[in-house]
Chains A and B, each alone.
Chain A
Amino acid sequence: MNTLISSTGNDLDSGFDLRFGRAGWFCLLNEETGETTFFENENKDASHGAGTKAAEKVVELGADRVISGDFGPRAKELLEKFNIQMVLLTDDSKSIADIIDTIK
């Protein structure tokens, strides 16, 4: 099972990003091996369609679950279509490492 977490930076100590489409980075976690990979979000400053592009990225990376603060209507629709689980957390004081610890 692969989980994607929206992140403000590219290491485990960086904070969780409440935004999905406009998050700085995405952390892909392989739950079996515990391995993490960071991907920069190249669409974070896009004038429109950032959420949709991010959702496409999720599909492309083969994630089964996305953890973020909120999803826009179009990203939501797309993720629903691909049967990707969306998880909404409201606490942005946590780091990526904290979140990974809780889901283990």
Chain B
Amino acid sequence: MPRRKRMRKVVAPPGFRGYKPYGSRHGQKEHVDLHYEEYEAIKLADYDLMNHLEASRLMGVSRATFARVYESARRKIARALVETREIRSVFGHAILDQSWFVCNECQARFNIPHNHVGRHCPICKGKNIHSIKEQL
């Protein structure tokens, strides 16, 4: 079993489900899957103009991992443009910021869906939890 991927924090998911080329002479090709964390990497580095270290802290990964995610994102976008492929946004290894929490007692990670009441840890029932965003 390969080492599991750490979750990458994403503040907001992309506001689109995909991008499609138009005016292309070629028929439909296989699409490129752009992960949420890759979108976030592009956004932080090239739209919010952060340096990689700041951006990596925000996403909860090391600077080197951030650089890898960012590189993969750029390559996918380049591939889509050059090969006139559709881009689709897919979940990937992201956790969305607001809805995910960590329990300080038992380290369980969990989300709280809208219809659940109370902000406590589902495992140890502790109230000592924080949203992954507050960890920064």
Which residues of A are in contact with B by a Cβ distance under 8 Å?
64-65, 67, 69-70, 73-74, 76-77, 80, 83-90, 99, 102-103
Shortest Cβ gap from A27 to chain B (Å): 15
26 inter-chain pairs at a CB distance below 8 angstroms, sorted by A residue, are A64-B116, A65-B122, A67-B122, A69-B4, A70-B4, A73-B90, A73-B93, A74-B91, A76-B91, A77-B91, A80-B113, A83-B113, A83-B116, A85-B110, A85-B112, A85-B113, A85-B116, A87-B123, A89-B108, A89-B123, A90-B107, A99-B123, A102-B106, A102-B124, A103-B122, A103-B125
Residues on B facing A (Cβ under 8 Å): 4, 90-93, 106-116, 122-125
A88 to chain B, nearest CB (A): 4
Interface of A is mostly: mixed
Contact A80 B111 (CB under 8 A): yes
Q: What are the residues of chain B within 8 A of A80 when measuring CB–CB?
A: 111, 113
Q: Would you call the interface of chain B mostly helix, strand, loop, or mixed? A: loop
Identify which of A74, A84, A88 gathers the most chain B CB atoms within 10 Å of its CB: A88
State whether B124 touches A88 (Cβ < 8 A): no
- Which B residues are CB-close (under 8 A) to A89? 108, 123
Q: Which residues of B contact A99 (CB under 8 A)?
A: 123
Nearest A-chain residue to B91, judged by Cβ: A73
B122 vs chain A, min Cβ distance (A): 5
Contact B111 A85 (CB under 8 A): yes
Q: Give the distance to chain B from A57, nearest Cβ to Cβ, in Å.
A: 18
A102 adjacent to B111 (CB under 8 Å): no
Bound together, the chains give a CA A56 to CA B44 distance in angstroms of: 35
Residues of B within 8 A of A84 (CB): 113
A99 to B93 alpha-carbon distance, docked (Å): 25
| CB-defined contacts of A83 to chain B, threshold 8 Å | 113-116
Decide yes or no: A102 and B116 within 8 Å by CB, A73-B90, A76-B91 being known contacts: no
Residues of B within 8 A of A86 (CB): 110-111
Instruction: Please name all residues of chain B whose beta carbon is closer than 8 Å to the beta carbon of A74 when the two chains form the complex.
Output: 91
